[in-house]
Amino acid sequence: MRDLVLILPDLFLFDSDAASARGPGLARLRFARSTPLRGGWRGLLSRGLGRADLVAVDPAEIVAAEVGASDPPGEAWSDPWLLSPLHLVPGLKTVHLAPGGLLRLTEEEAAELCVGFARDLGGEGLRLRPARSAGFLLEGLDAAGALTVEPSRLLGGALDEALPSGAGGAPLRAFLTECEMWLHALPLNRQRGLRGEPPVTTLWPWGGGQPLREPLAVSPGGSRWPAVWSDDVWVEALGRLAGQTVEGLPSSLAPLLAAESDAGCAVLPVLGRGIAMIDKDYILPAAEALRTGRLGRLTLAAGDRAVSVTAGDRHRFWRPARNLLEALLEGDA
């Protein structure tokens, strides 16, 4: 493979100390200047799959197109929002989202939570449906114009300034309050506590607020990546809308390098896997593939920035050798 893009979608929070502390190596390479990504990593992927028209579309609308693909004809999602199950911890003045507070429920837990939601909170036209890696999809809550924050950007921080705001913020804040009271007494949380697992203390809404003017449609747009790998439901939904097959994410870089296509893109979630594991299984092998010529160009995107390195960059001795996190932080040549 000549051109490989690795996207680390949830690598938002790092600083100069963490840049040298995380991971055993993170491949010290002579990276080019880092560049900002318009629309973040989702914008990069949308443009790469030939669907630049979807860059400004809410993530919840794209996920809804995938989750609702098997619904009866004519039945469309109304005002979809993504809900992420979180475990919040109290601080002196506000609650915080601990580093491990973005939860991943099992299929059985997600189904049980949706049944309880329909029984206790679904009487006002609200509908909740599991959305796999995205958490849940909520339908029927009119909060157009609300401004929200993706929860992975809040890991380790306080939530008081990140609560839904804007024109539709009030309905979302009211929903959060009601939902938190409901979750407090949920049998599912008692079961998680007995297993020593953190309870779900809130379902954080994000990714909606801009209703579509017309339904999303499949429109192959000429992808520059013949091969795409991901287990993220948003990526799978985008791939379907772009007429692109998205393969399941392998456990190491080897199958990616063995692909017959000249260019490919993989989305590697850090949460649940850890940056050290990403380093060992993907980044360091990619650095070796660059050294041996099996890979011509490597681009790494994290959150809102991207850096690239080519096989010939190792000869550019005026460019400092930095690891991935340092290169993303510094942004200089």
CA–CA separation, 161 vs 158, rounded Å? 7
Tokens linked to 136 = 């849940």
Number of domain units in the chain? 2
Helix pair 107-120, 187-194: axis angle to 10 deg: 150
Max Cα-Cα span within the chain:
65
Is 214's pLDDT higher than 50? yes
Coil, strand, or helix at residue 24?
coil
pTM of the shown model? 0.89
Q: Which of 7, 73, 2, 1 is nearest to 278 (CA)?
A: 7
Determine which helix (DSSP H) or strand (DSSP E) holds 266, and give its type and residue range.
strand 263-267
* Over residues 102-130, mean pLDDT: 92
CB 3 within 8 A of CB 262: yes
pLDDT score of 61: 94
pLDDT band at 15; cut points 50, 70, 90? very low
Structural domain boundaries enclosing 299: 3-57+217-330
**Whether residue 226 is found in the same domain as residue 303:** yes
- Please tell me which residue, 21 or 199, carries the higher pLDDT value: 199
pLDDT band at 333; cut points 50, 70, 90? very low
CA–CA separation, 134 vs 139, rounded Å? 14
CA–CA separation, 186 vs 178, rounded Å? 13
The domain boundary residue, chosen from 142, 173, 206: 206
pLDDT band at 17; cut points 50, 70, 90? very low
Length of the chain: 333
The domain boundary residue, chosen from 143, 177, 206: 206
For residue 63, tell me if it sits in a domain: no
Residue type, 21: A
pLDDT score of 225: 94
For residue 67, tell me if it sits in a domain: no
**Whether residue 96 is found in the same domain as residue 172:** yes
CA–CA separation, 146 vs 150, rounded Å? 13
* Over residues 152-159, mean pLDDT: 84
CB 168 within 8 A of CB 58: no
The domain boundary residue, chosen from 156, 172, 206: 206
Long-range (24+ apart) CB contacts under 8 A made by 258-262 are 259/1, 259/227, 261/1, 261/225, 261/226, 261/227, 262/1, 262/2, 262/3, 262/226
The rounded mean pLDDT for the chain is 87
